[in-house]
Structure 1
Amino acid sequence: MRDTKESRLLLVLLIAVAFALITVDIRGGRNSPVDGARQAAATVFGPVEDGLSSAVDPVGNAVSAIRDSGERHSRLATLEKENAALKAKLGSDDRSRSRLNQLDSMLKLAGEGQYGIKGAQVVAIGSAQGFSWTVTIDVGASDGIKRDMTVLNADGLVGRVTTVGPDTSTVLLANDPDFTVGTRMEGSDELGFASGQGDRPLRVQLLNGKAEVKKGDRLVTFGSESDKPFVPGVPVGVVSRVDPSGGGLTRTLYVTPYVSFTKLDIVGVVVQAPKKDPRDEVLPSKPRPVPTPTVTVTVTPSAGANQDGGQSDQSQSDQSPSDPSQTDEPQTDEQP
């Protein structure tokens, strides 16, 4: 169609009629005067629209599939994040569970010894003081911690407090070469002094050079005056070697400590000493000895032995005399 004044006028007229029909249709609602025309148009053009829709559906499905794929990818990424968070939480729960077990065991030890303790966590290794075997714990003066307090954990003696800050404290470990603690032998009550040797067993000097000591004997802390720096009865370790007695005034022992100084986490600072010496009550239960199996040997006679016995009896039977003339009685010769 050429662009003329008539064509432009016709276009404007058609647009105006279309807007008028739309307005009448909207105002009429269900009773719209053009409803019949709309239904007729639907009857005529419906099959065509359906065919076009069928032709276009694969494209629409593809777009929908891409959109759904993106949504699934997003959900997958969300699930992966949730799984990672869950794994981290489970790991944290395992760590928390381990700490709770340590705390429960330590509280049990403190209850048996009647020690009033303040729980703490090891937050650092070493310190500026130059000690070779020290740790830093997360309690200090604001928590009632003072210098020369005993430090223990669920296994036994950890060390003593040497430096106190507002919120942290430094603990000198029992295996440090500068560490010394009075000890008492379980049962015999033999006294001595234990000194640290780094990663080697503790070295104990017994005051009695003739004391009867054997491998496997156990030691606890003897305690200090006014319970500082050590309270009595805290498990120290087990005798692993005894030096031969050379007739000296003292006797040397080597003791494997109960505490693993390279795996410290939850500890307790003794802020209140027991009213009485717990002596050996805090020591762990001794393992029960494994019974030695008894071997019973049963001897069963063999068939060959029975046959031999039978043959022996038979041979003896064959050798027995059957003629009276072959008896052992003497025979008398008659003379004609």
Structure 2
Amino acid sequence: MVLLIPERLNRRGRLEHPEPGAPKRPTIVALLLACAVLLVLDQTGPALTPVRRLLGEVYGPLESATSTVARPVTSVPEWFHTQGALRERIGGLESDNAALRQRVASAGFDRNKLAEYEGLTAAAQDIGYAVVPARVVAYGASQSFSRTVTIDAGSTAGIEPDMTVLNASGLVGRVLRVTRSTATVLLIADADSVVGGRVGDSMEVGFVHGAGVLGGSGRLDLELLDQSVVPAKGDTVVTWGSSKGAPYVAGVPIGVVDSVYSSVRDSTQHARITPMVDFTSLDVVGVAVPSGTKSDRAVIDADGELK
């Protein structure tokens, strides 16, 4: 059924035509009727279910394919954001790993340093002297003595020539000369070094000579005063001690008897000594000083306390 709406007459009795481009009344009425029909059908619900299902089956794959094609384009901004976040995260992890590697690499050094300081504390208690801690900063190949080291403590730390130098393992040497901030130490491994020593439980006295060798094959030579005494392998040799503790205080371990032999030249008994100290890896050492010595650094006193 089509509804016809007559055109209106103007005031002069002439037909009034619609303006060009304006929608015609029949078209408007048809659209209104279509809307009404759709509203009625939508209220019925089940009546449109097959139609909706058919439209879903037809347009669903088309929508999926369109989404798949468009996804690379639409996801570009998100991709850039994700990549930037990943790069930032990776950079942070690499920084953390570098810090961890550094800590792991220095962990052994820190443990050894702590062990050296703890050993100096025990040594100070054993010998009954205060100890000024110092670090070896140079080996003296270019100095006047062939087997010397330089430490980073001098006269301002209370150090003077002819003072005993030791570490956590045993006797290192004696102070030769001093500046305000450094000191030169003659190692007992030097060929010109002579240290008075006592052997094991017998307490027999002898003189320990350096052989000039610092490495693992380096040995010291012990010449006993009493030729009737034969030290046993494994006996410990400690310092005999000097007047007022200079240049060597008493009771500092020097080494262990490795073997005994007789000198054909002078018919004397000698013993080869393996030193307690590894002279090629010296780091933290201590200089034995009298109690009450003024120092510009912390001192481990004879009771093992840091002052």
Does 2:117 align with 1:103?
Answer: yes
Match of 2:274? 256
Match of 1:217? 235
Alignment partner of 1:226 out of 219, 240, 244 = 244
Match of 2:133? 119
Is the 1:182–1:193 Cα contact (8 Å) retained in structure 2?
A: yes
1:246 is displaced (CA, Å) by: 6.2
- The answer for unaligned runs of 5 or more in structure 2 is 1-65, 292-307
Alignment of 1:83-94 (within 5 A): 83-94=97-108
Q: Relative contact order, CA 8 A, sep 6+: which one is greater?
A: 2
SS at match of 1:238: strand
Is the 1:209–1:245 Cα contact (8 Å) retained in structure 2?
A: no
Is the 2:230–2:269 Cα contact (8 Å) retained in structure 1?
A: no
Query: 2: CA distance between counterparts of 1:230 and 1:207?
Result: 19
SS at match of 1:262: helix
Match of 1:206? 224
Query: 2: CA distance between counterparts of 1:190 and 1:268?
Result: 27
Moved more, 65-74 or 144-153: 65-74
Alignment of 1:1-336 (within 5 A): 58-126=72-140, 128-199=142-213, 200-244=218-262, 250-272=268-290
- What's the TM-score, normalizing by structure 2? 0.66
Pairwise CA RMSD of aligned residues?
A: 2.4
- What's the TM-score, normalizing by structure 1? 0.61
1:176 is displaced (CA, Å) by: 0.7
Query: 2: CA distance between counterparts of 1:196 and 1:217?
Result: 18
Q: Deviations over 1:259-295 (max 9, x none)?
A: 111111111110127xxxxxxxxxxxxxxxxxxxxxx
Is the 2:127–2:249 Cα contact (8 Å) retained in structure 1?
A: no
* Identity between Structure 1 and Structure 2 (%): 42
Is the 2:210–2:219 Cα contact (8 Å) retained in structure 1?
A: yes
SS at match of 1:243: strand
Q: Deviations over 1:155-189 (max 9, x none)?
A: 11011111212111111111010111111122222
Pick closer, same or farther for the CA change 1:189–1:247 going to 2, 3 Å. farther
